[in-house]
């Protein structure tokens, strides 16, 4: 299924928040909406989920116009910034909630919720109440709750922003693997350029309710469309190279000058000799004094 | 921004709810009060200030206003002194038995004003137990007695407010002041006291309002010396309606002025919980050995004294009617009062009436609280302040004012009574109870919803629950404890309500228990009266802790 947002306009109290937004997310694609706070990215997500009716424009899921459909008929899985777990239910009941709404029999509900919890690495924690879980565990429950219904579209609203740096890196990788496994298109809203560059198949940089540039991380980093994008995406170097070796999740590549670098890789590993683009952020570089 | 902006467009059902939420207080509190005001300004079909002139020129009525004002001020001072001292005693010191004793300190507030007044009357009044034991000079009478009743029943407000403020006091602030060279006295004056000021001010306003509205205490203790609430009652009884309307309008104006002051201060009112978010909580000073024993013994004696009125109600419930003449304690005890009560349907009826009427009102409060609380927290933007004020208004108006206003507006057929006559019908008392308790359910629901992330409902909806189902499965379970606690509180308040009841009750068949207590006393059957009182107190004692536990969930 693909997602199409067409000429979306939304305003709050006469103040435009989305000014004719057009966007297409392909089937199976991981798409990031990147922009500073107040740029309208969350509004775009809420229109997609159905919490907000656009003043103008249409939302299409796989060619079907869902603009007038209420959220509960849209078949999306959403992960909220503060997780929005139900505090009066335990982890398992939280995950099973969407299955209950779909009228699945109890036994199937339990089995699928268990499976989803296992998938996010929370086996055996189903009976825990929400407040008995750590931030990272809550995040995983929220993720399991969104994917267990096998939604046609995954929406993520800054889901990693409340986690500490280490956990954030860990969950970022898991999130991408999960999305790839499910083959579901995902729209991920963030103000964090690193998240966007790491996760996206394509990303859009947003400002004042409009898209400034849409493209792959490489395109956006290499050829920023305007100074704002350049500044927002930050000083990211893009280096051409060729794969020399691969390991699970890692590749080793040779740069034109002969230097060898190691990098994280998500998805099926490329064959040796394949050309790759390596995105390098200055804060990713460590220097060590020679002994 | 998010939750509010999405709500700019209302559906027809939401509009209907908004209309109902506004209509109820406007129709049954604002409109009746306004009709009292307009009648106070009319005589012989023309606008006039004649009734107000009469009010100010009648020495008795003028004195009533003056007495009400100074009694209320004095009540604030006395209740403030006692409540604040107790808050410091239990909040700043640690001694054996501190926790259980501190739980008992607020008990006087649970006593309905009528029962508290009656019990103190038989304990400390001119022919009460203590004066008979120790001699007449210790007897309470007149305004001194009114003041004592106010101090006794209202100091818990100060205790609760100041205790909460003390809990939220950040120790590091005191340490910082001391490190900067402030002496302990200076720290108290410059850091502790300013921190307590909002709590003290809020409690002062609430106690002032309650004292202005007080009816039972002056009725039993003040004799022929008048206060405003009694003057209204008497003017109505003697059919001096013009004077009654002018006095009612004056009392309403004072109460509304205080309500506005409370709102301006941002002091939370009845249903709201005092929040005690502490940085580094203050440690209690430990009293060990002799000091600790002394503090424990002293506060045990104090708390026991504070509970004597409660115990006396149970004792007198077993005293034989007509047997107590000039003895210190009633000489003859019997189970008769209670057995008659349960054997004779006519005697039991007032209790049944009160249970049914208070329950009806509480159910109404629960439904209204759910609707209005939801609107306030989630939907309304522009009308928010107005609805908040409308909900507080009937609560802030003294029972006398509500009673007179309802009688004035609904003493004839009226469209707002669906074409019937409310006064004289069974519905009038539940309506009065319902109105006076509006904030008790609205505030907990609003508070719980405000603390609840709106994304939680959205999560439920995106997982496939239509909005009503999402509300029922996710939102409702989360606001239910607070809602039930508020409804229980409303029920309990309705059970003990006396002021509006005595103005509004009509026939014997619809008597509430408070009016029955009053009537039994006037027929010298104090045993029966206290048997009623003991049962009411048992119900309250059983339900209040339940409400407390629910609201802490």
**pLDDT tens per residue across span A115-169:** 999 999 999 899 999 999 999 999 999 999 999 999 999 999 999 988 888 888 8
Instruction: Tell me if B465 and A101 make a contact (CB, 8 A cut-off).
Output: yes
What does pTM read for this prediction? 0.82
Residue B23, min C-alpha distance to chain A (Å): 27
The proportion of chain B whose per-residue pLDDT surpasses 70, expressed as a percent, equals 95
Alpha carbon distance B472, B310 (integer Å): 41
- Name the domain boundary from A194, A214, A233: A233
Query: Which residues does B contribute to its contact with A (CB < 8 Å)?
Result: 1-2, 5-6, 8-9, 453, 455-456, 458-467, 469-470, 473-474, 477-478
pLDDT at B290: 83
Residues near B420 by beta carbon (within 8 Å), at least 6 away in sequence? B413, B414
Q: How confident is the model at residue A242 (pLDDT cuts 50, 70, 90)?
A: confident
A185 with A274, same domain: the answer is: no
CATH number of the domain at A23, please: 3.40.50.300
In-domain check, residue A291: no
In-domain check, residue A93: yes
pLDDT at B547: 86
B20-44+332-553 with B58-316: one CATH topology?
yes
A177 with A53, same domain: the answer is: yes
Q: Residue A267: is its pLDDT beyond 70?
A: no
DSSP assignment letter at B376: I
User: What dotted CATH number matches B58-316?
Assistant: 1.10.3720.10
In-domain check, residue A83: yes
Residues near B421 by beta carbon (within 8 Å), at least 6 away in sequence? B410, B411, B412, B413, B414
Q: How confident is the model at residue B553 (pLDDT cuts 50, 70, 90)?
A: low
A15 with A136, same domain: the answer is: yes
Instruction: Tell me if A81 and B477 make a contact (CB, 8 A cut-off).
Output: no
Instruction: Tell me if A101 and B464 make a contact (CB, 8 A cut-off).
Output: yes
The proportion of chain A whose per-residue pLDDT surpasses 70, expressed as a percent, equals 95
> Of A103-117, A159-173, B237-251, B486-500, where does mean pLDDT reach its minimum?
A159-173
A145 with A262, same domain: the answer is: no
Q: Residue B278: is its pLDDT beyond 50?
A: no
The top-level CATH class assigned to B20-44+332-553 is: mainly alpha
A52 with A13, same domain: the answer is: yes
Q: How confident is the model at residue A223 (pLDDT cuts 50, 70, 90)?
A: confident
Residue A86, min C-alpha distance to chain B (Å): 6
In-domain check, residue A94: yes
> Of A136-150, B137-151, B279-293, where does mean pLDDT reach its minimum?
B279-293
> Of A266-280, B45-59, B138-152, B360-374, where does mean pLDDT reach its minimum?
A266-280
In-domain check, residue A207: yes
A156 with A121, same domain: the answer is: yes
Q: What is the pLDDT of residues A102-112, one digit of tens each?
A: 999 999 999 99
A42 with A183, same domain: the answer is: yes
Q: Across the interface, which of A13, A52, A84 has its CB nearest the CB of B456?
A: A84
Residue A78, min C-alpha distance to chain B (Å): 7
Number of domains into which chain A is organized: 2
A155 with A265, same domain: the answer is: no
Contact predicate B312/B319, CB 8 Å: no
A225 with A247, same domain: the answer is: no
In-domain check, residue A289: no
pLDDT at B274: 39
Contact predicate B218/B146, CB 8 Å: yes
In-domain check, residue A290: no
Q: Across the interface, which of B2, B5, B478 has its CB nearest the CB of A87?
A: B478
Domain ranges of chain B: 20-44+332-553, 58-316
Q: Residue A231: is its pLDDT beyond 70?
A: yes
A119 with A254, same domain: the answer is: no
Q: How confident is the model at residue B2 (pLDDT cuts 50, 70, 90)?
A: very low
A125 with A12, same domain: the answer is: yes
* Domain with A37 in it: 3-233
A164 with A34, same domain: the answer is: yes
């Amino acid at each position: 299924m693909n997602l199409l947002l067409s000429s979306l306009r939304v305003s709050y109290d006469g103040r435009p928040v989305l000014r004719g937004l057009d966007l297409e997310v392909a089937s199976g694609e991981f798409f990031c909406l990147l922009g500073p706070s107040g740029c309208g990215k969350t509004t775009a997500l809420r229109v997609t989920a159905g919490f907000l009716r656009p003043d103008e424009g249409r939302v299409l899921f796989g060619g079907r116009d869902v603009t007038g459909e209420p959220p509960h008929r849209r078949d999306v899985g959403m992960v909220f910034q503060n997780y929005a777990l139900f505090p009066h239910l335990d982890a398992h009941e939280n995950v099973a909630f969407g299955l209950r709404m779909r009228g699945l029999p109890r036994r199937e509900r339990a089995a699928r919720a268990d499976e989803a919890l296992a998938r996010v690495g929370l086996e055996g924690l189903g009976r825990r109440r929400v407040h008995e879980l750590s931030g990272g565990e809550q995040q995983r429950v929220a993720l399991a709750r969104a994917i267990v219904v096998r939604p046609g579209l995954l929406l993520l609203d800054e889901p990693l922003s409340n986690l500490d740096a280490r956990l954030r890196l860990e969950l970022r990788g898991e999130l991408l693997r999960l999305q790839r496994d499910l083959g579901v298109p995902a729209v991920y809203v963030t103000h964090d350029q690193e998240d966007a560059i790491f996760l996206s198949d394509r990303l859009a940089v947003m400002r004042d309710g409009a898209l400034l540039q849409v493209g792959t991380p490489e395109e956006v980093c290499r050829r920023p469309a305007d100074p704002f994008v350049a500044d927002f995406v930050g000083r990211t170097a893009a280096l051409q190279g060729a794969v020399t070796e691969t390991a699970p999740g890692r590749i080793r590549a040779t740069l034109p000058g002969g230097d060898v670098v190691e990098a994280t890789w998500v998805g099926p590993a490329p064959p040796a000799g394949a050309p790759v683009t390596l995105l390098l952020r200055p804060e990713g570089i460590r220097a060590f004094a020679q002994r | 921004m998010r939750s509010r902006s999405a709500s700019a467009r209302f559906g027809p059902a939401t509009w209907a709810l908004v209309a109902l939420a506004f209509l109820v207080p406007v129709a049954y509190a604002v409109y009746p009060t306004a009709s009292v005001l307009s009648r106070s300004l009319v005589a012989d079909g023309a606008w006039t200030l004649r009734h107000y002139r009469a009010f100010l020129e009648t020495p008795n009525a003028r004195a009533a206003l003056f007495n009400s004002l100074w009694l209320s001020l004095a009540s604030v001072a006395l209740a403030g002194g006692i409540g604040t001292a107790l808050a410091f005693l239990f909040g700043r010191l640690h001694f054996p038995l501190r926790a259980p004793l501190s739980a008992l300190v607020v008990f006087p507030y649970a006593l309905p004003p009528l029962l508290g007044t009656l019990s103190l009357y038989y304990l400390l009044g001119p022919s009460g137990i203590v004066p008979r034991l120790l001699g007449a000079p210790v007897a309470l009478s007149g305004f001194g007695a009114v003041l004592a009743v106010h101090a006794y029943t209202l100091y818990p407000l100060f205790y609760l407010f100041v205790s909460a403020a003390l809990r939220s006091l950040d120790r590091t602030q005191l340490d910082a002041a001391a490190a900067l060279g402030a002496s302990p006295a200076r720290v108290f004056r410059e850091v502790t006291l300013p921190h307590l000021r909002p709590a003290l001010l809020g409690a002062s306003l609430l106690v002032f309002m309650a004292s202005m509205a007080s009816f039972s205490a002056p009725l039993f203790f003040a004799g022929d010396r008048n206060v405003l609430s009694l003057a209204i009652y008497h003017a109505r009884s003697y059919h001096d309606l013009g004077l009654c309307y002018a006095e009612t309008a004056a009392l309403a104006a004072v109460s509304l002025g205080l309500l506005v002051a409370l709102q301006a201060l941002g002091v939370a009112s009845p249903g709201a919980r005092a929040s005690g978010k502490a940085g580094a909580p203050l440690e209690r000073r430990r009293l060990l050995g002799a000091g600790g024993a002394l503090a424990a013994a002293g506060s045990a004696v104090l708390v026991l004294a504070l509970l004597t009125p409660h115990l006396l109600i149970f004792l007198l419930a077993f005293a034989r009617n007509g047997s107590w003449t000039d003895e210190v304690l009633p000489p003859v005890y019997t189970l008769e009062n209670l057995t008659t009560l349960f054997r004779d349907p006519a005697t039991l009826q007032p209790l049944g009436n009160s249970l049914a009427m208070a329950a009806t009102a509480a159910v109404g409060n629960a439904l209204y609280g759910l609707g209005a609380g939801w609107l306030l927290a989630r939907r309304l933007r522009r009308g928010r302040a107005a609805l908040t004020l409308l909900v507080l208004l009937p609560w802030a108006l003294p029972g006398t004012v509500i009673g007179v206003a309802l009688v004035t507006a609904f003493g004839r057929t009226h469209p707002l009574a669906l074409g019937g006559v409310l006064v004289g019908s069974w519905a009038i008392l539940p309506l009065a109870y319902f109105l006076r308790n509006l904030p008790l359910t609205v505030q907990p629901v609003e508070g719980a919803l405000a603390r609840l992330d709106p994304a939680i409902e959205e999560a439920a909806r995106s997982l496939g629950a239509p909005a009503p189902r999402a509300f029922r499965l996710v939102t409702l379970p989360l606001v239910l404890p607070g809602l039930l606690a508020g409804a229980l509180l409303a029920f309990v308040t309705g059970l003990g309500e006396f002021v509006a009841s005595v103005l509004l009750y009509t026939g014997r068949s619809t008597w509430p228990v408070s009016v029955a207590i009053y009537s039994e006393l006037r027929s010298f059957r104090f045993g029966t009266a206290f048997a009623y009182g003991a049962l009411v107190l048992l119900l309250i004692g059983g339900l209040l802790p339940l409400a407390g536990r629910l609201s802490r969930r």
